[in-house]
């Protein structure tokens, strides 16, 4: 029988590795170096989330972070999703949601498809059918907030990647 106990030796080495990676980081601290810009992004992010289901917010942020290869944000938002009550099965399926549609509602699928199209906009824009599907599931205000959320997570991913943020070092705490 398998148990869900944490290997303390391994957990200690992960913590040590995170601390070593953070100590080795030589890039600027964006929040300290551009505090007005940082606060503006925080405000944009907070406004984008208004009125949206917290679980949907995290699914969108997780999918964009997958696409952008942002380990820092992926770690942060999977933890936030768990705190919001998201289950492990769905978290594991976000990256392959098209093959695991039965894990997600039609509304969530529309949001994930829009997230992919906007995040990968240089690959062909936002197809009319993707936009129409999202518009069928969200009213105009919700859709605007979903789009704003997609824009903010893409901004956060780029900040984290450009400044060398280390996964496991959530600085909000």
State what percent of residues in the chain have pLDDT above 90.
Answer: 79
Provide the whole-model pTM.
Answer: 0.85
Structure tokens at 163: 């400044």
In which element (H, E) is residue 19 found? helix 8-24
Alpha carbon separation from 148 to 2, 41, 43, 61, 168 (Å, rounded): 42, 11, 11, 11, 26
Q: Which letter does DSSP use for residue 99 in this model?
A: G
pLDDT in tens, 138-152: 999 999 999 999 999
**What was the pLDDT predicted at 7?**
47
H runs (alpha helix) in 25-169: 30-33, 35-49, 54-67, 71-83, 88-93, 106-119, 128-137, 140-162
Position 22 pLDDT exceeds 90? no
């Amino acid at each position: 029988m398998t148990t869900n106990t944490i290997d303390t030796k391994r957990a200690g080495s992960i913590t040590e590795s995170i601390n070593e990676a953070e100590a080795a980081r030589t890039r600027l601290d964006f929040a300290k170096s551009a505090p007005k810009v940082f606060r503006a992004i925080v405000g944009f992010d907070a406004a984008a989330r208004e009125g949206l289901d917290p679980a949907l917010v995290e699914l969108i942020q997780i999918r964009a972070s997958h696409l952008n290869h942002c380990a820092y944000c992926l770690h942060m938002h999977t933890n936030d999703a768990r705190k919001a009550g998201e289950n492990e099965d769905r978290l594991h399926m976000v990256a392959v949601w098209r093959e695991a549609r039965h894990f997600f509602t039609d509304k969530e699928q529309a949001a994930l498809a829009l997230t992919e199209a906007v995040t990968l906009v240089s690959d062909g824009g936002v197809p009319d059918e993707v936009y129409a599907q999202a518009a069928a599931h969200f009213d105009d205000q919700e859709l605007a907030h979903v789009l704003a959320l997609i824009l903010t997570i893409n901004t956060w991913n780029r900040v984290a990647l450009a400044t060398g943020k280390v996964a496991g070092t959530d600085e909000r705490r």
